[in-house]
Structure 1
Amino acid sequence: MNEQRRELQALLEQSPSLRNYFLEILPEVCQDALVECQDSYLYAQFPRK
Structure 2
Amino acid sequence: MARQIKPTPVLKGEDAVNFLSKIEQRKKASKEELERMNAGFQRINKMITFKF
TM-score range, shorter chain: 0.3 to 0.5
- Of structures 1 and 2, the one with the larger relative CO (CA 8 A, separation 6+) is 1
Q: Is the helix fraction higher in 1 or 2?
A: 1
TM-score (norm 2): 0.34
TM-score (norm 1): 0.36
